[in-house]
């Protein structure tokens, strides 16, 4: 099956959205918890959270400022903090439902039945049902003029992981946490480990 | 299990790398194919490829310009084109091995046994063994001064997908392609679909 640049451009826009969203491969599934300066909470599922660096511990995500994630972006600029909460198999449908277009005064926590949790007085809500979650200090955003999106970068400042999932070398067993992955716009998947591979060196290749 | 900002900062650097790399959740696994202006090919596994937008069809990735991916970045700046090839379960060990620090004149294709493929005269090599691959025209890069990484943005201009994987609405069944996902620095996973969920609306929430 082959699509040229011209055939991609003439696809029905919904078909193209599904198709192009599938191309990058499997994505992370995370809930972004925020609140405004009056304490009105918001929760939004985001599939574009990515690792940016370990030292300092930085995480990036792409937000469309005029999409349903607009309140998330506004709250981050207002309070400079947010939480990232991994989605597990038990909360997939509630997590997905946070992508509905609720009004600002309708908290997605209330509307979907997920439970806001305050940890260590942090000024953004965590998701009680998530097994891996962390507090993030907003560091900067970059406007990507090429398509009007925003790259939001934050520093991980406080990490909460369910007991037993962190292995001796620091690797976190996401399968022990039931963490899911997303493909396309709306498909949720469990995972099954194939293997962990050793650090790749020129001399140690086993074919 | 709880790590504060202070305890994260004092972790052994290898432990911290494994830990922090696990936090964003599951990642995509892609091979980036490039060549220099003399035709010397390069192939590099990257776990930071992400969907940036469908219209125009844009894809982003994070590259550390002084890492083993340095030749990839140099080749992209030199030729303005690259390919992205999804990693499937049959080529996990070869794909991972491309992360070894080969010299520029040692092509990772030759060193790992993956097969370079030229499609439609595009000036970057595809991976014959990949079932979903696309030609990318470099659009821009942004230096992220916060940690010295580069955000590389490209436009998808030519798409090749194994027959039978594209569904009626444009969704691509990545499981039919055996596409894998990565967690942490070195863990590869197969997936099993839970479900596709309908477009979320305020009024249609089913709990």
Predicted local distance difference test score (pLDDT) of residue A206: 53
B95 in contact with A, Cβ within 8 Å: no
Q: Which residue has the tokens 């972790």?
A: B11
In terms of Cβ atoms closer than 10 Å to its own Cβ (0-12, 13-18, 19+), residue B134 is: buried
What pLDDT, on a 0 to 100 scale, did the predictor assign at position A203?
Answer: 78
Q: Where are the beta strands (DSSP E) in chain B?
A: 2-4, 27-28, 30-35, 41-46, 50-54, 57-63, 81-86, 116-117, 126-127, 132-144, 149-161, 181-183, 187-196
Which of B94, B180, B175 is closest to A194 using CA atoms?
B180
Q: Is residue B201 part of a domain?
A: no
Residue A168 lies in a domain: yes
Burial degree of B70 (CB within 10 A; 0-12, 13-18, 19+)? middle
Distance CA B97, CA B88 (A): 14
The pLDDT assigned to A127 comes to 98
Residue window 54-73, chain A: list those with CB within 8 Å of chain B. Answer: 54-60, 62
Nearest CA-CA distance, residue A39 and chain B, Å: 22
Interchain CB distance below 8 Å, B180 and A194 = yes
With a cut of 60, say whether residue B36 has pLDDT above it. Answer: yes
Comparing alpha-carbon positions, the chain A residue that sits nearest to B5 is A157
Q: What does the pLDDT average to over B85-109?
A: 96
Residue B3 lies in a domain: no
- What is residue B66's predicted lDDT score, i.e. its pLDDT? 87
Whether the link from the prior residue into B56 is cis, omega within 30° of 0, is: yes
Angle at B60 between CA B57 and CA B66, to 5 degrees: 150
Q: Which domain holds residue B63?
A: 27-192
For residues B100-104, give the mean pLDDT: 94
pLDDT at B203: 78
Mutate to test the interface with B, among A136, A200, A205 (most CBs of B within 10 A): A200
- Residue B54's pLDDT band, with cuts at 50, 70 and 90, is very high
Alpha carbons A49 and B27: distance in angstroms, whole number: 9
Q: Which of A71-80, A88-97, B43-52, B194-203 has the lowest mean pLDDT?
A: B194-203
Distance separating alpha carbons of residues B92 and B96, to the nearest angstrom: 6
In total, how many domains does chain A have? 1
How much is the pLDDT for B67?
Answer: 87
Is the per-residue pLDDT at B10 higher than 70?
yes
d(CA A13, CA A185): 13
pLDDT at B207 over 60: no
**Do B77 and B65 contact (CB within 8 A), yes or no?**
no
Q: Is residue B33 part of a domain?
A: yes
Average pLDDT over residues B68-88: 96
Cβ contacts (< 8 Å) between A152 and chain B: which residues? none
3-state secondary structure at position A60: strand
- From chain B residues 112-151, the ones with a CB under 8 A of any chain A CB are 112-113, 132, 134, 139-140, 142, 144, 146-147, 149, 151
Give the chain B residue nearest A167 (alpha carbons). B19
Tokens matching residue B115 = 């097969």
Q: Report the share of chain B in percent with pLDDT over 70.
A: 98
Q: Is B11 a domain residue?
A: no
Q: How far apart are CA B118 and CA B124, in angstroms?
A: 7
- Domain with residue A164: its CATH number is 2.30.110.10
Q: Is residue A147 part of a domain?
A: yes
Min Cα separation B79/chain A (Å): 19
Task: Provide the 3-class DSSP secondary structure of residue B116.
Answer: strand
CA atoms of A179 and A130, how far apart (whole Å): 9
The DSSP code for A198 is: P
Question: Tell me, what's the pLDDT at A68?
Answer: 85
Is residue A29 classed as helix, strand or coil in its secondary structure?
Answer: coil
Domain-embedded: residue A159: yes
Partner residue facing A197 (CB), from B50, B93, B171: B93
Q: Which residues in chain A come in under a pLDDT of 70?
A: 204-207
Tokens coding B32: 């980036």
Judged by a CB distance cut-off of 8 A, whether residue A25 touches chain B is yes
Q: Is residue A195 part of a domain?
A: no
Please tell me the predicted confidence (pLDDT) of residue A67: 87
ipTM of the complex: 0.96
Sorted by sequence, the CB contacts under 8 Å of residue A155 that are 6+ apart come out as A56, A57, A58, A59, A136, A137, A139
């Amino acid at each position: 099956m082959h699509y040229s640049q011209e055939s991609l451009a003439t696809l029905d826009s919904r078909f193209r959205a599904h198709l192009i969203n599938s191309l990058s491969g499997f994505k992370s599934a995370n809930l972004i918890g925020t609140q405004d300066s009056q304490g009105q909470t918001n929760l939004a599922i985001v599939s574009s959270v990515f690792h940016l660096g370990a030292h300092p511990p930085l995480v990036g995500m792409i937000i469309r400022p005029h999409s349903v994630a607009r309140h998330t972006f506004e709250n981050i600029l207002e309070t400079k903090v947010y939480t990232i909460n991994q989605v597990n198999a038990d909360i997939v449908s509630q997590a997905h439902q946070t992508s509905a277009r609720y009004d600002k005064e309708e908290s997605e926590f209330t509307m979907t039945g997920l439970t806001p949790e305050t940890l260590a007085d942090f000024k953004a809500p965590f998701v009680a049902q998530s097994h891996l979650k962390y507090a993030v200090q907003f560091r900067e955003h970059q406007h990507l003029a090429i398509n009007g999106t925003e790259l939001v970068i934050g520093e991980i400042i406080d990490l909460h992981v369910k007991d037993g999932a962190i292995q001796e070398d620091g690797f976190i067993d996401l399968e022990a946490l039931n963490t899911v992955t997303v493909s396309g716009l709306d498909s949720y998947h469990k995972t099954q480990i194939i293997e962990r591979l050793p650090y790749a060196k020129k001399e140690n290749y086993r074919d």
